[in-house]
Amino acid sequence: MDRLIWLDLETTGLDPRRDEILEVAWVEAAFSTPFHPIKNGSIVLHYDGSMQLSPFVLDMHTKSGLLAACKYSTHYMSDVIEALCRAIPPSESGSQTYLAGSSVHFDRGFLQTYMPSLVKRFSHRLYDVRAIQLFCESMGMPPIPKANAHRVLADIKESMQIGQKCQAWLATSSSKLLKGVLLGSPSNGCGDLMGDLQNELWNDGQD
């Protein structure tokens, strides 16, 4: 059975070559029911403050309470690797495991640096709800405000909620979008694009 592993990291910065992971969470869901959690877990890693954080990152992780939690944590990277490898076994024959989340290429980059053997258990395809959200907004869906919790389980919950909102919007708007494409409505640009393609094909046919 195909499955999703929703994953989120909090880090000391954006560069996996020099920055550290502070917190990680994962939520498993079936591919056919992506917004219904089956099981989850999270770990806060110990961080001694030895790395100088940017003012933005320092303020963000202080306000969220993460730095305080890291100070008293007794977990290290080896604990995270062990927990994730236990929680995410290799896919069964004929099945796929997809990494899911918001802009999840960022998280995959850190996994590739710190846990390359774990990355091999995932498909190269990503289930990125931010890309889905961007597509829906380009088609006319109202923007979805970002919560900015910056704690991993809360961020995964937000990602799943974004996916649900996009799913609901597409379900209620699909007939309108299809009508716009077929009739050439300029409301979102799709109609113009389809008209241009139809004209180009027609002109080619006259040569």
Same domain, 35 and 132: yes
Distance CA 124, CA 118 (A): 12
Instruction: Give residue 13's domain range.
Output: 3-172
Question: Tokens 């030895």 map to which residue?
Answer: 50
Q: Which pair of structure tokens corresponds to residue 127?
A: 């289930």
Same domain, 27 and 98: yes
Same domain, 14 and 105: yes
Each residue's pLDDT, cut to its tens digit, for the chain (207 residues) gives 999 999 999 999 999 999 999 999 999 999 999 999 999 999 999 998 888 999 999 999 999 999 999 999 999 999 999 999 999 999 999 999 999 999 999 999 999 999 999 999 999 999 999 999 999 999 899 999 999 999 999 999 999 999 999 999 999 987 777 666 555 554 555 555 445 545 655 565 555
In CATH, what number is assigned to the domain containing residue 118? 3.30.420.10
Angle formed at CA 204 by CA 203 and CA 207, multiple of 5 degrees: 95
Strands 3-11 and 21-30: antiparallel
pLDDT score at 165: 96
Same domain, 115 and 202: no
> Which residues on adjacent β-strands are paired with residue 5?
28, 99
